[in-house]
């Protein structure tokens, strides 16, 4: 729906030129400007009538696809979409609107969106016709400032090249050697968290006149999770300890917190980018644009310095590190600037997502105390105590804890950290034989698909880690949570644009969760949040509790 401002300007210029050609020279500039503006206004009016009314209501080939009822005349379902968390209205639509794999809905200015909902439709968009569907240029512009044009934002041949050359760094044979690092940093994080909780508990553990049990304090877990995942991606991804665990004021940590904090101006810029080109939005004189530029410069500089360090080591033949950057650097496939873009991508894509998963895991364990106890029993009886400073864990030990993996998978299904993602048809194409015109927005919504009853069964809406455990010897369905298709679990997407860091993230998440649950007992601070409907969620690229997740954490003895 981006405004064709170049065409409008060209047509207005040409029209104004010819219309005013015979005017006396003293009036000519005034009439030229008036004609130019009038030309723009007429075209804009025509464009709005065509795009907002005529196309979506009378001409679009998408008319006739199942859609939610109660559209507003000009803004479709925008009110409900903007009020609720990303993907939440679609969670209801996917289960209540009868469909053959596609649902159409309209957003702001009736812009049409298509949501693939069946395994066949998702398979076409994500795998067989993957390169027919690209990330919209407006979205790429916005994100490229913080992520660089790394793997996440590259398209077509450039994407294929980058993916091929980065895949070895994320292969299991490589990631399995990183488990020891994940465990070491998880243990370090839990030690610092333990000290803080015991210190707060010693100050007088009182919450709204309620006396807390011994060794218990109130803490916000999202912040701890972000600091630990930032240090993990630092060491295991880039070979640098950012020290965010020990220093909450660490500049990189603060930079990401500022970028990701809910912000009115950021929301305005997002909405403007629906109609204006990305570069124009980035130049608007708003404070938020300055903050983003400043943050992006700092992140870019940090990444550049890291690459310089590694290159020096490589030149001196001293590069034997296991981190992802070292493997990518040794491949020799990337220029320095391209590596900077990749690092910026790994930093952002690789820490907030796992921190979101950790936050939702703790929330779910607060709501399901039986799951928390059962998980702790498994962890304490199979993994070395955190007090053993030199104890290491291997991929074998972590990957063979059935309940730990079941809980991790169920959290990732139930609260996917990236709730939705957007594609745009780059050519006229089809999904499930239905024509999809070039430019159509296709919205892939893990938040909705992961809870689709037609794919998961009637209990799709229930948090139940047991669905990931075998029901009998040799039960192959356990690996996919007993869903009817692999496409039912969309948390990391599928196909050539699926999350390249999936194996890394799952291992990191399992290590962190095991260390936290082995050491602490968690209870929700605000009892109202025991009802999920009362949990206010901040949507966006990743999904988190809007006001943080505040819990009562008790340091437990004996492990
Ligand atoms: C629980 C944690 C994570 C989740 C839920 C997650 C989810 C996703 C999703 C949904 C995508 C596809 C986005 C799109 O195409 O619109 C993606 C892509 C990507 N992720 Fe992750 N991610 C996680 C962790 C990580 C980690 C730890 C790394 C790096 C170390 C990483 C690196 C990437 C990269 C580079 C891409 C782009 C892949 C491509 O386009 O070829 N992610 N991730």
pLDDT in tens, 427-463: 999 999 999 999 999 999 999 999 999 999 999 999 9
The answer, yes or no, to whether residue 209 has pLDDT greater than 70, is no
pLDDT at residue number 268: 85
pLDDT at residue number 324: 85
pLDDT at residue number 415: 97
Please tell us whether the domain made up of 156-418+491-555 is placed in CATH 1.10.630.10: yes
For residue 87, the CA-to-ligand 1 centroid distance in Å is: 18
The lowest-confidence range among 196-210, 236-250, 468-482 is 196-210
Domain ranges of the chain: 1-59, 156-418+491-555
Higher model confidence: residue 1 or residue 168? 168
The answer, yes or no, to whether residue 468 has pLDDT greater than 90, is yes
pLDDT in tens, 276-290: 777 888 888 889 889
Q: Which atom of ligand 1 is nearest to the CA of 416?
A: 5
For residue 509, the CA-to-ligand 1 centroid distance in Å is: 14
pLDDT at residue number 100: 95
Task: For residues 468-487, give the mean pLDDT.
Answer: 95
Mutate to test the pocket of ligand 1, among 178, 240, 343, 349 (most ligand atoms within 8 A of CB): 349
pLDDT at residue number 250: 86
For residue 493, the CA-to-ligand 1 centroid distance in Å is: 9
Closest residue CA from atom 14 of ligand 1: 421
**Which residue in 245, 274, 221, 252 sits closest to 547, CA to CA?**
221
Q: How far apart are CA 2 and CA 338, in angstroms?
A: 29
pLDDT at residue number 33: 93
For residue 552, what are the β-bridge partners?
218, 523
Q: Count of residues for the chain?
A: 559
pLDDT in tens, 9-29: 999 999 999 988 877 777 888
Closest residue CA from atom 43 of ligand 1: 499
For residue 469, the CA-to-ligand 1 centroid distance in Å is: 25
Mutate to test the pocket of ligand 1, among 353, 487, 491 (most ligand atoms within 8 A of CB): 353
In the DSSP assignment, the letter for residue 76 is: B
pLDDT at residue number 206: 63
With a Cβ cut-off of 6 Å, ligand 1 is lined by 151-152, 163, 233, 237, 345-346, 349-350, 353-354, 357, 417-418, 421, 491-493, 497, 499-501, 504-505, 509
For residue 556, the CA-to-ligand 1 centroid distance in Å is: 34
For residue 104, what are the β-bridge partners?
114
Q: How far apart are CA 455 and CA 452, in angstroms?
A: 5
The answer, yes or no, to whether residue 390 has pLDDT greater than 70, is yes
pLDDT at residue number 314: 82
Helices (H), 133-178: 137-147, 156-170, 172-175
Kindly state the tokens that stand for 459: 């209990």
The answer, yes or no, to whether residue 208 has pLDDT greater than 70, is no
What confidence category does residue 315 fall into, taking pLDDT thresholds of 50, 70 and 90? confident
Q: HSE on the CB side for 67, CA within 13 Å? A: 20
DSSP 377-415: HHHHHHS--TT-TT----HHHHHT-HHHHHHHHHHHHHS
Q: 10 by DSSP, 3-state: which?
A: helix
> Whole-prediction pTM value?
0.92
Q: Which atom of ligand 1 is nearest to the CA of 153?
A: 40
In the DSSP assignment, the letter for residue 503 is: H
For residue 502, the CA-to-ligand 1 centroid distance in Å is: 7
Are 197 and 553 spatial neighbours (Cβ–Cβ below 8 Å)? yes
Task: For residues 407-425, give the mean pLDDT.
Answer: 96
The answer, yes or no, to whether residue 382 has pLDDT greater than 80, is yes
For residue 349, the CA-to-ligand 1 centroid distance in Å is: 6
Closest residue CA from atom 37 of ligand 1: 152
Kindly state the tokens that stand for 216: 């218990």
pLDDT at residue number 271: 80
pLDDT in tens, 85-138: 888 899 999 999 999 999 999 999 999 999 999 999 999 999 999 999 999 887
117 is annotated as contributing to ligand binding: no
Higher model confidence: residue 384 or residue 143? 384
Residue identified by tokens 């708003």 is 286
Percent pLDDT > 90 in the chain is 68
DSSP 29-74: HHHHHHHHHHHHHHHHHHHHIIIIIIIIIII-TTTTS---S--BTT
Percent pLDDT > 70 in the chain is 99
pLDDT at residue number 25: 78
């Amino acid at each position: 729906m981006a405004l064709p401002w170049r065409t409008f300007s060209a047509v207005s210029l040409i029209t104004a030129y010819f219309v005013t050609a015979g005017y006396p020279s003293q009036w000519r500039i005034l009439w030229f400007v008036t004609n130019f503006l009038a030309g723009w206004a007429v075209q804009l009016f025509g464009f709005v009538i065509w795009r907002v009314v005529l196309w979506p209501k009378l001409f679009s080939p998408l008319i006739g696809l199942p859609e939610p009822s109660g559209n507003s005349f000009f803004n479709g379902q925008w009110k409900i979409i903007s009020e609720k968390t990303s993907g939440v209205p679609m969670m209801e639509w996917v289960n209540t609107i009868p469909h053959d794999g596609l649902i159409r809905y309209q957003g702001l200015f009736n812009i049409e969106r298509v949501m693939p909902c069946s395994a066949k439709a998702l398979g076409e968009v994500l795998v067989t016709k993957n390169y027919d569907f690209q990330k919209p240029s407006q979205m790429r512009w916005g994100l490229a400032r913080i992520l660089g044009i790394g793997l996440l934002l590259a398209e077509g041949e450039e994407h294929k090249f980058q993916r091929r050359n980065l895949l070895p760094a994320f292969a299991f044979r490589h990631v399995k050697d990183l488990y020891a690092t994940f465990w070491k940093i998880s243990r370090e994080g839990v030690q610092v968290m333990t000290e803080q909780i015991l210190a707060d508990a010693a100050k007088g553990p009182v919450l709204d006149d309620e006396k807390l049990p011994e060794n218990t304090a109130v803490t916000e877990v999202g912040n701890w999770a972000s600091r630990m995942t930032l240090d993990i991606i630092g060491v295991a991804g880039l070979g640098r300890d950012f020290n965010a665990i020990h220093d909450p004021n660490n500049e990189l940590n603060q930079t990401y917190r500022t970028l990701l904090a809910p912000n009115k101006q950021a929301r305005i810029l997002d909405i403007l980018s629906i109609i204006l080109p990305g570069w124009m939005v980035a130049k608007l004189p708003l404070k938020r644009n300055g903050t983003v530029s400043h943050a992006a410069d700092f992140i870019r500089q940090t990444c550049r310095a890291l690459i310089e360090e590694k290159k020096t080591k490589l030149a001196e033949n001293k590069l034997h590190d296991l981190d992802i950057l070292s493997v990518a650097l040794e491949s020799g496939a990337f220029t320095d600037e391209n590596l900077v873009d990749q690092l910026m991508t790994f930093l952002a894509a690789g820490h907030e997502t796992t921190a979101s998963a950790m936050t939702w895991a703790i929330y779910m364990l607060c709501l399901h105390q039986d799951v928390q106890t059962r998980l702790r029993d498994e962890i304490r009886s199979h993994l070395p105590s955190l007090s053993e400073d030199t104890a290491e864990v291997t991929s074998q030990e972590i990957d063979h804890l059935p309940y730990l993996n079941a809980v991790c998978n169920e959290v990732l299904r139930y609260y996917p950290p990236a709730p939705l993602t957007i594609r745009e048809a780059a050519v006229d194409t089809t999904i499930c034989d239905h024509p999809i015109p070039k430019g159509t927005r296709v919205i892939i919504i893990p938040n909705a698909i992961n809870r689709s009853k037609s794919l998961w069964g009637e209990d799709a809406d229930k948090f139940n880690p047991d669905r990931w455990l075998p029901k009998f010897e040799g039960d192959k369905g356990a690996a996919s949570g007993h869903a009817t298709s692999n496409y039912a679990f969309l948390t990391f997407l599928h196909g050539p644009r699926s999350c390249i860091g999936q194996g890394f993230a799952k291992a990191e998440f399992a290590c962190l969760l095991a260390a936290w649950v082995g050491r602490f007992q968690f209870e929700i601070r605000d009892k109202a949040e025991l009802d999920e409907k009362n949990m206010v969620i901040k949507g966006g690229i990743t999904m988190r509790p809007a006001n943080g997740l505040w819990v009562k954490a008790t340091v437990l003895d004996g492990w």
